[in-house]
Chain A
């Protein structure tokens, strides 16, 4: 019983209700960090960490939470985890912290955190909320990594910093700039929605 519920949440957050291409949340960071796979991985790991833990914390305190200050407390909890992450990065991974610069702090503005807290953690048990936040973060990560792989290869000719394109390759400046992420987010949405519509009709056909 529990297992199947967890699977549903997993499938929901990775595919049928993916935060990027269905809920269209967290697009700002999608545009900003996806020109390089390494930063994308760290950033989306940070988002996953913050979403999972803040969802769990908020779910644990939901019975004590007065409605009047619900939003304020949510923001306090989320910024707590984001600042904690920032401090840890600065102390133990100074290079990464320097490269990500302001983006770590900007995780707090990522709508996925608030979205999951409102949509799931407010009505579910802490462990399931943790699982929901974790899988939401993974759904976000999956899309971002796909986009960043294409952008890094075309924009820098490298993958995770290793040269993959031949020497004479002319890099595509536009891939490094935010606008190109728009093209790719749009194409991912297009592909995902077409695919989902196809499966939907296939399912209906099968039922007939």
Chain B
């Protein structure tokens, strides 16, 4: 039933430790969220591919996992299902399935439900630890007071311990927990040539430079530097920006793409009323990806033409 895609498998391996940590942090509910997300994703893709006679791609498992990871831990399961159905249907299959989508499906789905159900999802965060003890019950929707995410705390001028950010013991979405695990995954993905290092580095660089510029220029709303470790910034840089389908292919275009995404994340985070800007930034990056590729290709062509003309005249002499 599945196409074999070793690259996608390696991404899944890289995501596994994060999933294990998430279960410890937020309880068995994480498994339910994952199951719903993967189930809906595979089902929608299967229904479409059956008609066309194709196979379900393993990429849908990555999309499903990434989408589940971008949800707050107590997100209602019906929202997870709607978001994932939208992601596979509107952002992937209508474009023609795997390899043809312009936008990253997981991010498109996430943004769809975040705009639709901002109130519900915003109140679905809770304090992590001990298999989701703060949630009150193992599988049910927590009655406990929702916790403020690290980014929200920083925005309201509070302080967040760096250790918590590194280990992941702070409120946030399911997968954006531990910086150490995400960094480890990044190393694994780069070492196995699954993810393009340029994309990760340029995204992080773009974000860091703009954040530093705003902070040290003394802009009133600027967030302190540890905000780079909070929210989904690194998670997006490692797992979303590197999506081989929606990212540009040429090295120079990849640099521009990453820098754009990183910079826009920080600008939206700092100045807009939205709590997080990563999804918007990534979709914006996706929009420009093929244009960047075209600019780079055209420039190379022009150069080659010039060089050919030059050698041509040389030869004439």
Contacts and interface: CB of A to CB of B under 8 A. Distances in A.
A196 interface: no
Interface string B177-197: 000000000000000000000
Contacts of A170: 117, 120
Bin the interface of chain B by size. Answer: under 10
B90 A174 contact: no
A173 B90 contact: no
Contacts of A172: 116-117
Interface in A158-199: 170, 172-175, 177, 183, 186, 190
Interface of B is mostly: helix
B57 to A, nearest CB: 22
Interface of A: 170, 172-175, 177, 183, 186, 190
A171 to B, nearest CB: 8
Interface in B90-125: 90, 94, 112, 115-118, 120
A175 to B, nearest CB: 7
Contacts of B112: 174
A177 B115 CA distance: 10
A190 B94 CA distance: 10
Contacts of B118: 173
B120 A183 contact: no
Interface string B71-99: 00000000000000000001000100000
B273 to A, nearest CB: 14
Contacts of B116: 172-175
A160 to B, nearest CB: 22
B74 to A, nearest CB: 14
Interface centre among B94, B112, B116, B117 (most CB of A within 10 A): B116
A115 B306 CA distance: 47
B16 to A, nearest CB: 32
A177 B118 CA distance: 14
Contacts of A190: 94
Given A173-B118, A186-B94, 11 more contacts: A170-B117, A172-B117, A173-B115, A173-B116, A173-B117, A174-B112, A174-B115, A174-B116, A175-B116, A177-B115, A183-B90
A187 B239 CA distance: 30
Interface string B288-310: 00000000000000000000000
A184 to B, nearest CB: 11
A183 B120 CA distance: 23
A170 B75 CA distance: 13
Contacts of B90: 183
B69 to A, nearest CB: 22
A177 B111 CA distance: 14
B72 to A, nearest CB: 15
**What 7 A-B pairs have minimum CB-CB distances, sorted nearest first?**
A172-B116, A174-B116, A174-B115, A173-B116, A173-B115, A170-B120, A170-B117
8 contacts: A170-B117, A173-B116, A173-B118, A174-B112, A174-B115, A174-B116, A175-B116, A190-B94
A174 B112 CA distance: 7
